[in-house]
Structure 1
Amino acid sequence: MRVNRRAAIAGSVLALGGFVAGLTPAQAAGEPAEVRASDGTTSYYLTFKKNTNTNSTLRLIKQRVTEQGTSRVTLAQYRAGSGHTTNECEKNKGWLPNGTYTIGKYHTQYDGSVIKGYAFSLNDKTCKNGVTKRTELFIHSKMKKDGTSQWTGDNNYKSEGCIKLKPADIKDLYKQAKKVGFPKTLKVS
């Protein structure tokens, strides 16, 4: 009788999609990046730290919040670029405005008019002047739709205002992001 009872309990756990194991409904469905447990919360997000248009840093961060405090660990780090100028209010030229973004879909075969291949969509953002709205924002690379590199050198880090990585780096970022459930937040500073 105990065997049947254990089987029933195991079946209930599976039917609950992982709730008993501390997973959120989204995680049970294989989706984003936040785990809550009685001893704290773990979440994942991206950061973009501006330095120059061709030499800034994109990081994948693991954050753990417990009663003892908050810890952050960099899981992956990449050289990245953004824009042709540091004026965030200049459409299609300025670097990405500071702030928090929602990462939409993670594409592997995007086929836009300018952006192709691996591309992660970002929400629109009004720049610091409070008027100019920046649209069609992505984290992307210089490649063909099938992911073939078209990278020719460090000047390719410049973009029309998005965040740009080398083809090998954006592919690795996709792989690392997939491991943690595809983070949905980007913090730019």
Structure 2
Amino acid sequence: MTTRKSRIMLCTAAAALSGGLMAVPQAQAQSTALPAAGPSTGHTSARAASGNYSYLEFKKGSNPQNSRLYFVYVQASNPDHPHSHTLGSWRAGSGNGSKNTCASNAGWLPNGSYSIKAFSPHHNGGPHGVNGIAWYLGDHRCHSGHWRTDLFVHSEMLPSGRAGSSEPYRWDGDSDYKSNGCIKLKPSDIRALRNLQASYPNPHTLYVH
């Protein structure tokens, strides 16, 4: 990564121990049609009340800049027979190329489960931070016991969500999948993720493995 790029990769790290990966909820696939996504008003709360829920899953690939992020919706009104649906799948990067999950400002995310603490459609982290559509993951331990801190799912854009004319507000291509540990998606993909969240229960958990 170039010096110009490295200055905009926000997600700081201080290392971490995650015990091992917590299991992703087990859900059986179903052949029936998935209920269509409707308007977000009242839609999410009604589904949550029925026992349905959503989560995010980050599956690491052989290349830290070419992994996958998934949005999974689970119909769990009958807890004995839940049915899962992968509604979105996008290329995602994490880290600057290092697979050392304890490498501060370099390694990809440690394995484990993350509580999604907040969502912001207009995060304003300034010229050295996260901007625009973002999910805040907080901190996490890696295998050494140290903490990786200030972790997000984000892209590169203005706080308004529009493309900027210069770094760190403009997506230039594959090199922008690099970060200091955060999960990064290109702008069109993070907008697609936001739109799914608007029509289905808010995901409260991210599973990384």
Point out where structure 1 has 5 or more consecutive residues left out of the alignment. 1-26
Residue 159 of structure 2: aligned partner: 145
Shift of 1:188: 0.6
1 CA distance for matches of 2:53 and 2:108?
27
Shift of 1:115: 1.1
Select the structure with the greater relative contact order (CA < 8 A; seq sep ≥ 6): 2
SS at match of 1:53: coil
Residue 118 of structure 1: aligned partner: 133
2 CA distance for matches of 1:177 and 1:156?
24
Residue 89 of structure 2: aligned partner: 77
Deviation string 1:120-175 (CA, Å, 9 cap, x unpaired) is 10021010112x10110000001122222311011111111000000111111111
Going by fraction, where is strand more abundant, 1 or 2?
Answer: 1
- Contact preservation (8 Å) 2:53, 2:201: no
Residue 46 of structure 1: aligned partner: 56
- Contact preservation (8 Å) 1:33, 1:43: yes
2 CA distance for matches of 1:175 and 1:104?
18
Q: How many pairs are equivalent?
A: 158
- Give me the CA root mean square deviation: 2.2
Classify 1:151/1:33 alpha carbon distance in 2 versus 1 (closer, same or farther; 3 Å).
farther
1 CA distance for matches of 2:46 and 2:101?
29
Matching residue within 144, 168, 188 for 2:188: 168
- TM-score when scaled to structure 2? 0.69
Matches within 5 A, 1:87-126: 87-112=100-125, 113-126=128-141
SS at match of 1:101: strand
Deviation string 1:79-136 (CA, Å, 9 cap, x unpaired) is 1110011111011111011111111221111111321111110021010112x10110
- TM-score when scaled to structure 1? 0.76
Classify 1:108/1:68 alpha carbon distance in 2 versus 1 (closer, same or farther; 3 Å).
closer
Classify 1:35/1:162 alpha carbon distance in 2 versus 1 (closer, same or farther; 3 Å).
same
Going by fraction, where is helix more abundant, 1 or 2?
Answer: 1
Residue 8 of structure 1: aligned partner: none
SS at match of 1:123: strand
Shift of 1:72: 1.6
2 CA distance for matches of 1:186 and 1:33?
19
- Contact preservation (8 Å) 2:44, 2:198: no
Classify 1:75/1:30 alpha carbon distance in 2 versus 1 (closer, same or farther; 3 Å).
closer
Matching residue within 164, 171, 180 for 2:200: 180
Point out where structure 2 has 5 or more consecutive residues left out of the alignment. 1-40, 164-169
Larger Rg: 1
